[in-house]
Amino acid sequence: MGSIAQMGGTDGWGRASAPTLDEPVFAESWEGRAFAMTLLTMGRISGRNLDSFRHALGSLSREDYLDDGYYGRWLNAAELMLTESAILAPGAVDARVRANRGEQVDEPPAPEQDAKPDYKPTAAGSLRTVEDPPRFAVGDRVAAKDVDPTGHTQLVGYLRGRTGAVTIIQPAALLPDTHAHFEGENPQHVYAVAFDSRELWGPDAEAFTLTADLYDSYLEPA
Amino acid sequence: MTSSINPDRLSPALRTEALEQLLTERGLVDPAVMDKFISTYENDVGPLNGAKVVAKAWTDPEYRARLLAEGTGAIKELGFAGPQGEHIVVLENTAALHNVVTCTLCSCYPWPVLGLPPSWYKDPVYRARIVREPRTVLAEMGLELVADVEVKVWDSSSEVRYLVLPLRPAGTEGASEEELTALVTRDMMVGVAR
């Protein structure tokens, strides 16, 4: 649960404020450039995928995740994917910034050989067909496993070890945990599981129901 | 809250410019393609799409039934599909039930119907707290819910995306679909307004 991306239920962020009406899509023009470049980087340029992008985001330091805002963290994750795929040399972006402002700096040359993952999806998108019937039915009691995977996962931290009930059987999809690391699609059934707020946050919690989507291997019968 | 910012840190604007130069010089990105992506999400794909879906559901009971039973297909009938919209589930608000959507792990959002997410949706304040004290957070954002309205919070933790179907406002019985479209806001379709 060390990833900065596991934000659900964490403390210390302050008060929310009323939404701004007519907020621009990109507050500053660089944000649009960073958005578009990250989309292009993800597949075409780095040979990576949406889940490895999410893993890159979650691998950023707290500063790289928070200090440059949302599209800043996209930019930082894009740079990470590009250096991991040896499209860019480490430090190349910062060196170019300094060169652009007239500093004497040796820009590192681009790597001679890229290191894109040798990996191709079996189909577009994330939805897949699973032949075996779903392990759980609507209404079944299930628990989110109390585990702490070292690699990428979409198993939400604040749900681990908690018990809820299946409310929707969602379309089967490839498993982010392996897909992010180019270790196979491992398509699984996905379930919307509803948890009572008191199961998550204790007897004094506000009354509400929290529903999250959980992949089959994240769950066990309860 | 953010951590204290290192004064030696290069600004994201300058680093974005540098990265675009590095990739363009090697023919890895075409700035014209980037311009097209930006223009699409600035001008074409936004909450007006979702508002059209909602207004149609308010005026056409058969469409409403299809939308609630199989959101993705019903949304596609109006021409809305694409990235971050592989499977969309529509959540129906009622007088007794309020739905609100988040993504605590990143900021997943149903792009084909709402466009790119607004700043508050991506803010750690919202991501961290809406799953723990939603009534308090909604009140801070300007939505006071009476105690007997049930609250359901949806954390978009897979590739499923959620769209809230708000209640049709009272007093709009004679309104056209077009007039109703103008009443639907992004915030209603995420669930921070009602």
Tokens, residue B185: 């806001």
Residue A118 lies in a domain: no
For testing contact with chain B, the best of A10, A21, A25, A52 (most B CBs within 10 A): A25
Residue A128 lies in a domain: no
What integer pLDDT is reported at residue B4 of this predicted model?
56
What integer pLDDT is reported at residue A2 of this predicted model?
77
Residue A117 lies in a domain: no
If one counts the domains in chain A, the total is 2
User: Which of B4, B11, B103, B156 is the catalytic position?
Assistant: B103
**Which residues are CB-contacts of A11 (< 8 A; sequence separation ≥ 6)?**
B128
What integer pLDDT is reported at residue B8 of this predicted model?
78
pLDDT-above-70 percentage for chain A: 100
Q: Is A18 on the interface with B (CB under 8 A)?
A: yes
What integer pLDDT is reported at residue A43 of this predicted model?
83
Residue A33 lies in a domain: yes
**Distance in Å, alpha carbon of B27 to nearest chain A alpha carbon:** 10
State pLDDT tens for residues A45-59.
999 999 999 999 999
State pLDDT tens for residues A182-216.
999 999 999 999 999 999 999 999 999 999 999 99
Q: What is the mean pLDDT of chain A?
A: 96
B192 neighbourhood in chain A, CB within 8 Å: 19
For testing contact with chain B, the best of A6, A79, A206 (most B CBs within 10 A): A206
Distance (Å, whole) CA A4 – CA B128? 11
What integer pLDDT is reported at residue B1 of this predicted model?
42
ipTM: 0.97
Q: State whether A102 and A147 are in the same domain.
A: no
Q: Is A149 on the interface with B (CB under 8 A)?
A: no
User: Which of B4, B39, B108, B119 is the catalytic position?
Assistant: B108
Q: State whether A89 and A148 are in the same domain.
A: no
Q: State whether A19 and A95 are in the same domain.
A: yes
* Torsion sign, CA atoms B55, B60, B63, B65: positive
Q: State whether A85 and A32 are in the same domain.
A: yes
Whichever domain contains A161, its CATH number is 2.30.30.50
User: Active-site residue B103, yes or no?
Assistant: yes
Question: What are the backbone dihedrals phi and psi of residue B152, each rounded to the nearest 5 degrees, phi first?
Answer: -120, 125
List the domain range (segments joined by +) for residue A102.
1-111
State pLDDT tens for residues A139-175.
999 999 999 999 999 999 999 999 999 999 999 999 9
Residue A131 lies in a domain: no
Q: Is B97 on the interface with A (CB under 8 A)?
A: no
Contact A25 B41 (CB under 8 A): yes
Q: State whether A21 and A107 are in the same domain.
A: yes
What integer pLDDT is reported at residue B5 of this predicted model?
59
What residue in B sits closest to A89 (Cα-Cα)?
A: B22
The answer to whether the beta carbons of residues A111 and A87 sit under 8 Å apart is yes
Q: State whether A6 and A106 are in the same domain.
A: yes
Q: Which CA distances in Å does B87 have to A38, B141, B156? A: 23, 28, 12
Q: Where are the alpha helices (DSSP H) in chain A?
A: 29-40, 50-59, 62-66, 69-84, 92-100, 176-179, 197-201
Residue A134 lies in a domain: no
Q: Is A158 on the interface with B (CB under 8 A)?
A: yes
Range 55-84 of B in CB contact (< 8 A) with A: none
Q: Is A81 on the interface with B (CB under 8 A)?
A: no
Residue A126 lies in a domain: no
Q: State whether A87 and A171 are in the same domain.
A: no
Boundary (domain end) residue, out of A94, A111, A128: A111
Q: Is A120 on the interface with B (CB under 8 A)?
A: no
Domain range annotation of chain B: 12-42, 46-190
**pLDDT category, A44, cuts 50, 70, 90?**
confident
Q: State whether A61 and A153 are in the same domain.
A: no
Distance (Å, whole) CA A47 – CA A86? 11
Q: State whether A89 and A157 are in the same domain.
A: no
Three-state SS for B4? coil
The answer to whether the beta carbons of residues A152 and A177 sit under 8 Å apart is yes
For testing contact with chain A, the best of B131, B143, B162 (most A CBs within 10 A): B131
Residue A124 lies in a domain: no
Q: State whether A100 and A153 are in the same domain.
A: no
User: Which of B39, B106, B157, B176 is the catalytic position?
Assistant: B106
**Which residues are CB-contacts of A161 (< 8 A; sequence separation ≥ 6)?**
A143, A144, A145, A146
B128: nearest CB among A10, A207, A214: A10
Range 165-194 of A in CB contact (< 8 A) with B: 168, 170-171, 173, 190, 192, 194
Question: What are the backbone dihedrals phi and psi of residue B6, each rounded to the nearest 5 degrees, phi first?
Answer: -65, 125
Beta bridge partners of A192: A168, A213
A8: nearest CB among B5, B86, B155: B155
Question: Block means of pLDDT (10 residues each) for chain B, length 194 residues?
Answer: 65 98 96 97 96 98 98 98 96 98 97 97 98 98 97 98 97 96 98 97
Best CATH choice for the domain B46-190 from the list 3.90.330.10, 3.40.50.150, 2.40.37.10, 3.30.70.380: 3.90.330.10
User: Active-site residue B107, yes or no?
Assistant: yes
**pLDDT category, A177, cuts 50, 70, 90?**
very high
- In this model, does residue A22 exceed pLDDT 90? no
A88 neighbourhood in chain B, CB within 8 Å: 22
Number of H helices, E strands in chain A: 7, 5
